[in-house]
Amino acid sequence: MTAGITRAIEGMDGISWNILGQIYVPKQLSEQSFSWHATFPKGTFVPPHIHPTQDEFLYILDGCFDFLLDGAERRAVPGDLVRLPMGIPHGIFNKTDADVKCLFWVSPARRLYDLFWALHNLGPSPNPAEVVAVSAAHEVDFLPPPEDSGTEDG
C-alpha cells in the first residue's frame, strides 16, 4: 500500500463494480485490509452469509440499514459503525425508499477483491447457485434460506 489520499469521488484505478444492483467503489487494498464505498439502492440487500476468515465493518454515511446479525434484527443509521466478526452470520438490507451509502472494510483482505471482480456485471437476473458457488470459492458462505415454519391462515 502506498501513502496518499483516495478522493471522495474516486476509486482505485477508476474501478466501480455493479454487484447485483449495488455499486461498490474500491478505496484501498492491502494484504491486511480492503475498503470500499457502497451504494445500495432501495430494496437491495445482501442475503445472510458468513465470512469465515475476515472481520467486516460498515460505517453508515447516508440512509439506514436493517441487519440480521447472529439471528437478531438490528438497525444502523448515519454515524453508526457496524461490527461483523468473522464466523458470525449476517445479512444487510435496505428496506427504505432511498439509497443507503456506507464505507465497508474487511480485515484481512483475503479474496474479497477478487470476488467482486467475479460478481461484477452478472446482470439483472443472475443464477443464484452460481453466485453462491463463486462466493464460496472466494471465502464467503451464503446461508440457505430459512425453512417455512408456519402455515397460512384462512
C-alpha cell at 20: 447485483
Whole-number pLDDT of residue 148: 59
> E strand or H helix at 20, and its extent?
none
Whole-number pLDDT of residue 154: 47
Whole-number pLDDT of residue 36: 97
| Single pTM value for the model | 0.89
Per-residue pLDDT of the chain (154 residues; tens, 9 = 90+): 888 888 888 899 999 999 999 999 999 999 999 999 999 999 999 999 999 999 999 999 999 999 999 989 999 999 999 999 999 999 999 999 999 999 999 999 999 999 999 999 887 788 889 999 999 999 999 998 776 555 454 4
C-alpha cell at 57: 465493518
Q: Which CATH architecture has domain 20-139?
A: Sandwich (2.60)
Q: If you search the block for the grid coordinates 470500499, which residue do you land on?
A: 36
Among 97, 3, 104, which residue's Cα sits nearest to residue 59?
104
